Structure 1
Amino acid sequence: LPVPLHLGRSLATYPHLSLADRARVGRAALALQGLDLADPALDTQDFGSWLAAHGQSARAVEALWDLVGVATLNAVASDASLGLAAMVFKTGLLSDPGAADIGWARVPLGELHDRLARNALDAAGVRTEVRTRVTSVSAEVNGGWSVEVPGETLEADAVVLAVPQREAHGLLPEGALDAPDRLLRIGTAPILNVHVVYDRKVLGRPFFTALGSPVQWVFDRTEASGLREGQYLALSQSAAQDEIDAPVAALRERYLPELERLLPLTRGAEVRDFFVTRERTATFAPTPGVGRLRPGARTKASGLYLAGAWTATGWPATMESAVRSGVSAADAVLGALGRPRPQHLFEFEEAA
């Protein structure tokens, strides 16, 4: 069916909302579809207030809007910019019947983001340095740039700073941005990942999400990790400000009983491993007003460009935003150097 009728059956049969809530969700979706994403006023409002003004109950926010929004925005509705939330829901639910299809990686993400990219860069003759901290970036008198790394000075025609906003602020030369301190006002939001390895299979599907539970999204990472016995589950906990620094023992006490409640097969299973990974500054915080703080790819310094999910891509801090920022920076560099845009940039943009 055409948008937005393609969601009708799913919404009508969604068992976690009352009939009245489902009807109000439909009306809110139509109102959301009518928002102009180019309107800067959307960035000044929070999504939670907009939902309340459009008849959304606390249950509807928990069971539907935050179900999608927390995972994509890394913030609950009350803490998220209406502009970014509208972008997520209009793009992911209301742009095309297939836009909400869910994909997941069957191999480690390092295989996709590191090894394949590294092979392509190596084949192109690109030198790649890892675990190498840049200490300064400065313009040369006769044009070009000097990039200082321990024990070496690199000379470049152009530089792309693809680092987090605070690190970018520390490396930007004077005058590169009109208001560089705005970068320091772009907050960060954490993501907590809880990893549990059982001695047997306890989950028969690739992933699930939970309502009325501290558990958010759970993914089966057994195949991707190469594990041959048992099952490896990864819990992805976004907007984890309250738990990001919690001791492992406390997290174990909190999440193992909850997994037993949600997955009955875990009750007789042995936990072979339990560990936690913490990303304290996983994404930029999508708070109201953040849009005017996000700079574009070009700076006022000729030959110096910015990239990163936190730059002005129009997207929240997703992999799509990161890719789009890279494409924008590459376009800017190629344009400045008078070189044509290669076909793979079009392909990257299409994939994003």
Structure 2
Amino acid sequence: MRAGRAIVVGAGLAGLSAAVRLTEAGMAVQVMESAAQAGGRCRSYHDPQIGLTIDNGNHLVLAGNLAVRRFRERIGVPEPLAGPEHADFSFVDLADGRRWTVRINDGAVPWWVLARNRRVPGTSARDYLSLGRLLFGKANETVADRIGTEGALWSRLIDPVLLAILNTPPEMGSARLTAAVMRESLLRGGRASLPRLAHPSLAAAFIDPALVWLEERGMAITTGRRLRAMGTEGDRVVTLDWGQGPEAVGKDDVVVLAVPPTVAGALVPGLTVPDAFHAIVNAHFAIVPPAATPPMLGVLGGAAQWLFAFPDRISVTVSAADGMVEMDREALAQRFWDDIQRAYGFSAPLPPWQIVKEKRATFAATPVQDARRPGARTAWRNLFLAGDWTQTGLPATMEGAIRSGERAARLAQQAVG
């Protein structure tokens, strides 16, 4: 083992990513988590109301997310993430009943826009050329500053997809963050754009294997311990207070703070963090989906936005759901169930359900909020930040969270030489 400890505060994906990398580097790692379980926003639990294990949200990754792949390979997860063989994205418009599927070809040359049966109905190949303008957006520009926000291409593809990616009304979203996602997915072709979902759960696909991997190497995981304050002296963090008084941080110790931005802002003097957020609402219905149901279905003209068909349930995700978080849960469940029946074309009584609301799910992915995201370094040479809200170059995604942990770990290793 290398001298000194690495104290990782927070056991979400960012914290676990950092812990795995630091352990690989030969450091003694302690992971502290304030909640009763690890996982952060990527957590799973058994819900007695519907009798199933569910995720707090339907977190989508893409096949081209390299950090996700690296992380899972490191912790030895053999089962692949679930998803289709090709980048086919199905949609239904509940207002007029129209259905279509966008079929992105596997290779990097986007010939799919030339094929009428592959592109959005009512669009021409020329319409897609305008998307190139997103790639050159400046840091202070929104999506609406770069491309038009009207027409079939916008309403039937760009708006619903960007809303899910940014968790922000797309016209207000950062053009820079949007371009980053495009470069790592669409511009690399359909193979990089394949949607992937955790199977059978987020915990099984990411969190539990990471905890086992760390524990097998003797790394301590402590839950139910919240960091209350940090003491600094010169350019170092010298104490951590977990509620029972300051505890010394050794001269060779490093601290990785992988907590939500509001918590980090309260702990770290003078730290600028995102201060505007958007909600996400998820719903889960304990019913086997109809046969031949697509694994993902984009919904226009309803309360639901995306439907996910799992073997034992149907799930709904609504992004930028600020107007829904205060709505009555039973009313929401009925609205979503009505959308599900219309979208899938069947009729059934309302099954057991659960609504999961996250009022401050992610930072608002606007240029203003992107500018407030700090890097991994701090003013203290033994303190580093991790989280999808730090400056990853991406919106708040699982890929960004894992990358942030990797970067914090790399800087921490350099700090101890």
Per the alignment, residue 250 of structure 1 pairs with 331
2:305 pairs with 1:216: yes
* 1:299-320 residue CA offsets vs partner (Å, 9 max, x unmatched): 0112011110011110100000
Matching residue within 147, 154, 170 for 2:240: 147
Larger proportion of helix: 1
Worse-matched range after superposition: 187-196 or 93-102: 93-102
Per the alignment, residue 233 of structure 1 pairs with 314
2:124 pairs with 1:22: yes
Matched AA of 1:256: W
2:178 pairs with 1:85: yes
Measured on the aligned residues, the alpha-carbon RMSD in Å equals: 2.3
Per the normalisation by structure 1, the TM-score is: 0.80
Percent identity for Structure 1 against Structure 2: 27
Cα distance in 2, alignment partners of residues 7 and 146 from structure 1: 57
Residue correspondence of structure 1 range 1-352 to structure 2 within 5 A: 3-9=108-114, 12-14=116-118, 16-18=120-122, 21-33=123-135, 35=136, 42-52=138-148, 57-139=150-232, 145-151=238-244, 153-156=246-249, 157-172=253-268, 174=269, 177=270, 180=271, 182-183=272-273, 185-198=274-287, 200-202=288-290, 204=292, 205-222=294-311, 231-265=312-346, 267=347, 269-338=348-417
Q: Count matched residues.
A: 308
Q: By how many angstroms is 1:12 displaced? A: 3.1
Q: By how many angstroms is 1:152 displaced? A: 6.3
Q: Secondary structure at the match of 1:68?
A: helix
Per the alignment, residue 68 of structure 2 pairs with none
Alpha carbons 1:186, 1:284 under 8 Å: kept: yes
Matched AA of 1:137: M
Alpha carbons 1:140, 1:146 under 8 Å: kept: no
Q: Secondary structure at the match of 1:160?
A: strand
Q: Secondary structure at the match of 1:271?
A: coil
Q: Secondary structure at the match of 2:127?
A: helix
* 1:248-286 residue CA offsets vs partner (Å, 9 max, x unmatched): 122023222221211223x0x333302200111111110
* 1:134-189 residue CA offsets vs partner (Å, 9 max, x unmatched): 111113579653211133654431111111111101111x4xx5xx2x32x53111
Cα distance in 2, alignment partners of residues 207 and 216 from structure 1: 10
Alpha carbons 1:197, 1:271 under 8 Å: kept: no
Alpha carbons 2:173, 2:366 under 8 Å: kept: yes
Alpha carbons 1:162, 1:307 under 8 Å: kept: yes
Alpha carbons 2:307, 2:340 under 8 Å: kept: no
Alpha carbons 1:145, 1:158 under 8 Å: kept: no
Alpha carbons 1:203, 1:220 under 8 Å: kept: no
Cα distance in 1, alignment partners of residues 303 and 158 from structure 2: 16
Per the alignment, residue 350 of structure 1 pairs with none
Q: By how many angstroms is 1:243 displaced? A: 0.7
Q: By how many angstroms is 1:288 displaced? A: 2.1
Per the normalisation by structure 2, the TM-score is: 0.68
Alpha carbons 2:289, 2:309 under 8 Å: kept: no
Alpha carbons 2:185, 2:192 under 8 Å: kept: yes
